[in-house]
Structure formats: C-alpha cells, structure tokens
Chains A and B, each alone.
Chain A
Amino acid sequence: MARQHRKRLFTSLLVVGALASGCRRPPKPTLAPVTQPALVAPRAPAALPELPLFAPRVLAPLAVDGELAETVWRDAAHSGGFADEKTGKLGVPHSELRIANDGQRVLLGLYAADEDIVAYATKGAPFDARDDTFVVQFERVGTNAGYQLEVTANGTVRESPADPKAVGAVCAVEMDGTLNAPADDDEEWVAECIVPFASVHASIGDTLLVTARRCDTPKGATRRCGTWQRRVQLQ
C-alpha cells in the first residue's frame, strides 16, 4: 500500500515537475533534490542515441572507507567528467562517478575536485545550502520507481525515499584538504557508497537512468554545477 502510495506521489511529482520546469531540456530527470535547485541533465551527446553504460558485477572485496583504492573501482564503469549545466561542455571543477555492482548492491565512487571543501550537514538535520554535496538519482527505466542519494563532503547521507526499515545506503568520505577552512587551498574529496538493490528497485539485468549532480563555488568564481546522466545496466 505504501509502495503504491509512493508510486502515485512520484507520478504526481513528475507531472508537476514537468509543468514547473517549463521547457527545460531534457524533461528528465524527475526527482527534485531537496537542498539544491532542480536537476538539469547535461546535454545528450550530439546526435548520439542514448547508449547504456554497463555497470559490471565485481567480486573483489571492498572496504567502504572513502579510499577508492580497490580494483573494483578500476573495473567499474567510468562516467568521465560531468558536463557543465550551462554550456554542456566538460565541467569544472571536475566531478566524476564510477559505478559497479556486487550482485546485491550498487557500488558508487564519487570524485570531486574542490579548492575549498565545505560541509556543515549533520544527520537528520537540514542540509546547508553551502554544503559540497553529490546528488545521485536512480530511476528504474520503464517504471516510476525512483531513489535519490545525497552525500556531503563530511559524509552525511540522506536518502529519498527514506525507509527507516530498509538497510539503506552506506557512504564513507575521504578528503585531501581541510573542512570549512576557506583560508587554505584544498584538493579534492571522494565518496565511496554502497546502495542496496532494494533501494533503487532493481536487480541484475535491469536498466537504471542515473543522474548525478554536484555544484561548487571555486575560489574567486561563481557557483557552477556539473551533471551527468546515462542509462546504466546492471550486469
């Protein structure tokens, strides 16, 4: 019943989102992040069909510690750099995603080049608009089942829908820099996450529309956002 309710709500939000966003291109994705402006997917590659990316099933052990040193991340599918939302070109600061699965969970590696790492979020409290955050949305293709993961540079995780009974996502963050210290120069932060298949309503063989977004304000520059969107098949 609850699932049906969520499905209806999701459909309703989809319609409202389409109306509210006017003719923003493309009409996907559908989930509106809570703390950041509505996602705007990057431009599709010129004249290319939307090709799926294959998230391989990997068997090597993985320690969720924020260090993407395991071979899993070498074998994972690469997103490449996110596209700048305004220009459609390769965005800076650089953000990228790696995605694989272990047969039961989606494995996500998120990289953010960042001159000034900022995060004030705490679990259960509203995210601060200044927080450096990755927002990753999953929509199972052919259904209305959606899921959104947000992870900040201090490792705070928020999921939508948040099901207190579910195991939920687990993330660890590693950074090279100092948190909330604008006087010095930082280098990067990395999030390593595992998301149960149940959360993304998918299993091996399913295809997900994955949209990832990160916004940042480099020193002396204006805020800019990079996004990446692709159909991803769980192999």
Chain B
Amino acid sequence: MVSTFSPSHRSIAARLRRFGLVLLVGSLTLLAACSQDEAASAAAIDSGESAGTDAVLTGTGWTCVPCVQRADCGTSWCVQFAADTYCAVDCTNSPCADGLTCKLLITESGESVKACVPAVEVCSATGDPADASGPNTCPYDPPGTASCCTSCGASGTCDPNGCFNGWFCNRSACKCVAAPPAGACAGADGFSAPDIADQDEGPADIQMLDIAPGALGPAGGEVPELYFAIVGDTRPALIEDTAAYPSAIAKKIWQGVQGAAPPFTVTTGDYMFATAWGSQAAPQLDLYLAAAAQYTGLRLPALGNHECTGSTTSNCGSNGKDGLTKNYTAYLTKMLEPLGFDHPWYAFHVHAPDNSWTAKFVFVAANAWDTEQATWLDSEMAVPTTYTFVVRHEPVAANTAPGVKPSEAIIKKYPVTLRLVGHTHTYAYKPDTREVVVGNGGAPLSGNVNYGYVLVKRRPDGAIEFHAIDYSTGNDFTPSFAIKADGSPTP
C-alpha cells in the first residue's frame, strides 16, 4: 500500500488541481448544506442527550449534582471529585463563579478537563458541599417511595421509585443511583436507610470480618438461601496509574451490591495495575478496599495475574518463577490475611439451615500455581456438595496462565456447576465451557457491556439464576440465565 503522500500520487494531485475550481465550488456548496444538516443534527442530539442536569450554581456557589455519565450533566462535565463523580462546569475559557476554583480533573470516562469545583473536596448527598441540609432536602427517593425515575421501563420488577434492585432515585436528575452514603438522608420523610454500615471509607478489610452476618465467616457457614454477588477486574488502564484508579466506578458497583444485600460476594481478581517491584500495589489496593467498603458483607477474593506481575503468564509464590512480588505480597497482606488465609487458594463452604443443599466455592490461583495447590485442589474438589463453583481469574481460554491447564485437568474429574472467572473485561456466559466471565468491575472494557456486577440466587426449584447488572441503571444487561446443579442450562 502506498503512502497517501508518496510521489506516485503526484499525477493524481495534478488531476485534482486541474479540477480544483469545480471541486472547490462543489465542496463549498456541499459543506454549506452539511453545516445546516449538522446544526439540525446537533440539535437533535442535544434534545436526546441533554436530559441531564448541569452543575448547579446556587447562592452558595455550588451544588454537588451526582452523575454517572456525561449525559447526566447536560453541558457540564461529569468529573471525579470528592471520591465520587459530580457535574462541574468547564473552565478552560471562562472563569469560575465565586467560591469555586478551576482544577484539572479526570472525567468519569478518564478524560482530562478543567472544571469548576469547590476548593475543599466535600460533597454531601444532600447536594450541598457544606452539608447541614435538613432531611427535606434529601434528593434521593428510596425504593419504596414513588419518584420520577423510569430506568426500569416496562420490563422487570420495578420498585415504586422507578428503579430496580433497591436503587434510589435521585430526584434532581431523575436517575437511579446506588444507595446514598450512610446517614446522608437519615430522617427524611419516607426514607428507609439502606443497610450500609456507618464506617470509615478507608481500607476496611479487617472491619469486614467484624460485621460478617450471622455465623458466616471466611470458611463458610449456614445461610438462609444461596445468594451472592460476583464482581471482577477493577484496575486502571495504564500501569502505575494510581491517579486514574477507577474508584468512582468501583464505589458505585459496590453500592449496588450493597443495595442488593447478598451475604457474600466473590471477586474474580485483578485489583491493581502496578509494576511487580514498584510502590503502587499497596496504594491501589487501598483505593480498591475503600470502594469495596461500601459493601458490608463478606468479600472473597481470587488472585489475578495483576496480583503477580501483571503478565498472564506470570507465576508467583515461593515456588513460582516470579517469586514474592510486591503486588503479590500486598494482595496477601491486605486482602487475604484479614480473612485468615495464608495461601491465595482456599475453599468456602455454605449450606442451607436444614442441609437440604450444600455449596462449595473453590478459589484457584492460576498465577501462583504449584504442586501444593494441585494436591489441595484435587482433595477439595473431591468433597461432595450439591453445587460446586470454581472461582479462578482466568477463563479456560486464557490458557497461558500457568495454572489454567493443570487446574482444568483436575477440575474436569469432578462435578462442576459453573466456573466464575474474570480476566476478560466484560460479562459473558459461556455454556460450552461452563463459565461466566465477570470482568467488568472498572477495568477498561473489552466487550460489549457496561461496568457492573452479577447477582446469583438459588431458586426454589434448585436451579441457580444469574443476573448481570449494569452499574449505572441497576438493570439487567441481558436476559438472566439459569443452570441446574450439574451446570446444564435450564429455563
């Protein structure tokens, strides 16, 4: 193929010049027509996309209008600010209102922009940065209160506020949002406070154990029903880019999970993107844990390749070729030690109160694979249970991870209900390999769905039903699917 500007194109250029006048007249006419069309189209786009709310300047100069995406903010940006995302007016070419400063910020989609925000990074759920608004100003309508949201449309189970799954309706934008921060609207008329612990947003891995419901602990226990969530792959796109950690997305995802209130949640790996021997693993895990602290249930993590060196082929641990990287040790220290585990592989068993069913979750660490884990996996898989879920970061097809092929050789000897995996930054159910991919937890998306999480529930008929939830709406991405205990699909 020849370059656009190569000498061989000179004859074409001469011809073009010969017809230059005609072309110029023609193009000017066409461009004029296009301009009109563009203006009309822009107007159409505006009418379709500007339903959102601009950042509101009030008497105090600023109202924290929450947003999930740009469309929520009209002509303003949706920026990451005060550990969440809010609408903010652009200030590239114009000064900010009194009391606001023009800052270089990152939008919800990762773009650099200059926008007007308060100098102090404080926003309350009431919309007033200084807070102290009374209960009557709470902009969130709880699920049981009629409101202006329409996210659930005509399908699915619709809460009276127009949202799904216990989400709240933000009246100021008529958008469904995850539960507001703890205590934000306490006392509001008709407000039923969501079950969010009033806790510090800092790393809360150890606190999590303190508040685990009932007898359920890291080793498992009795649960009234088999009901859990899956979240996977939460990390920045670029290595070492802690400043671009997807905290806002992760926080909303975990708020959504909290709103659905499963007693435990499985995470499928990749919580960081840091150089193996650098300094950013721990700070990124802190950001992850801060976001995950929105959820007060039990979190059960699987190890991803980014908790080793980042490469899919990496293998950590004392017997792995990559050894004890800082990513690996930070993961063990911050995410597994609070659970009482000293290996990145472990099992979690739950059962019905009457023992009518049992389930095990077998966590395989394919990037810390060794013979010890292989022996353990074989013995763990041999334990008979009604349901068996294998939790591993890499799907079957990511077979360059050192533990995928050898673990599959063991897993295939035993009954499996479903593999719960991540690695690919999307959501997908793959019945042929009996796996569900949940990798849309904030890492750069590679598939065709938005960020979100999955809710899993055992039905009265014994089938397991999976719902993939879009974090921005609380709606299902796709129709749910169900499987029997043996993994076969069922209506």
| Residues of chain A whose beta carbon lies under 8 Å from any beta carbon of chain B | 5-6, 8-10, 12-13, 15-16, 18-19, 22-27, 31-32, 34-35, 43-49, 51-54, 67-69, 73-74, 77-81, 88, 90, 92-94, 96, 98, 109, 111, 113-115, 126-127, 148, 158-162, 176-178, 183-185, 187-188, 190, 218, 220-221
Contact = CB atoms under 8 A, between A and B. Distances in A.
A9 to B, nearest CB: 4
A9 B50 contact: no
Contacts of B153: none
A148 B4 CA distance: 9
A53 to B, nearest CB: 6
Contacts of A178: 400
A188 B112 CA distance: 22
Interface centre among A13, A78, A178, A221 (most CB of B within 10 A): A78
B1 A16 contact: no
Given A81-B110, A92-B445, A98-B238, A15 B27 contact: yes
B23 A162 contact: no
Interface string B221-237: 00000000000000001
B239 interface: yes
Contacts of B426: 92, 115, 218
Given A19-B30, A115-B424, A78 B93 contact: no
A78 B111 contact: yes
Contact of A19 (B27, B398, B423): B27
B408 interface: no
Nearest to A158: B3
A227 to B, nearest CB: 14
A115 to B, nearest CB: 5
A69 B280 CA distance: 11
- Size bin of chain B's contact surface: 35 or more
B92 A94 contact: no
A92 B394 CA distance: 20
Given A9-B13, A80-B107, A23 B93 contact: no
A49 B13 CA distance: 35
21 contacts: A9-B5, A13-B4, A15-B16, A18-B31, A27-B31, A46-B42, A47-B46, A49-B93, A69-B240, A73-B238, A92-B446, A94-B446, A115-B447, A127-B1, A158-B3, A161-B3, A177-B312, A183-B397, A185-B423, A187-B424, A188-B444
A12 B448 contact: no
Interface string B1-26: 11111100110110011001001101
A15 B37 contact: no
A184 B394 CA distance: 10
Nearest to B241: A74
Contacts of A8: 13, 17
Contact of B90 (A5, A16, A51): A51
Interface in B84-133: 90, 92-93, 106-107, 109-114
B448 A221 contact: yes
Contacts of B37: 23, 25
Contacts of B445: 92-94, 113
Contacts of B3: 34, 158-162
A9 B16 contact: yes
Contacts of B111: 78-81
Given A25-B38, A51-B90, A78-B110, A161 B50 contact: no
Contacts of B447: 92-93, 115, 218, 221
Contacts of A18: 27, 30-31
Contact of B16 (A13, A96, A113): A13
B48 to A, nearest CB: 9
B188 interface: no
Given A12-B13, A88-B45, A185 B398 contact: yes
Interface centre among B13, B244, B446 (most CB of A within 10 A): B446
Contacts of A96: 110, 237, 444
A13 B5 CA distance: 10
Given A9-B16, A81-B110, A158-B3, 16 more contacts: A12-B16, A26-B38, A47-B46, A51-B90, A51-B114, A69-B275, A73-B240, A78-B110, A78-B111, A81-B111, A93-B445, A98-B238, A185-B395, A185-B423, A187-B446, A188-B446
Contacts of B428: 220
A128 B112 CA distance: 33
Given A8-B13, A47-B75, A162-B5, A81 B444 contact: yes
A106 B418 CA distance: 48
The 3 closest A-B pairs by CB, nearest first: A80-B111, A161-B5, A94-B444
B332 to A, nearest CB: 22
Contacts of B244: 78
B33 interface: yes
A47 B49 CA distance: 10
A206 B275 CA distance: 35
Nearest to B404: A184
A113 B446 contact: yes
Nearest to A94: B444
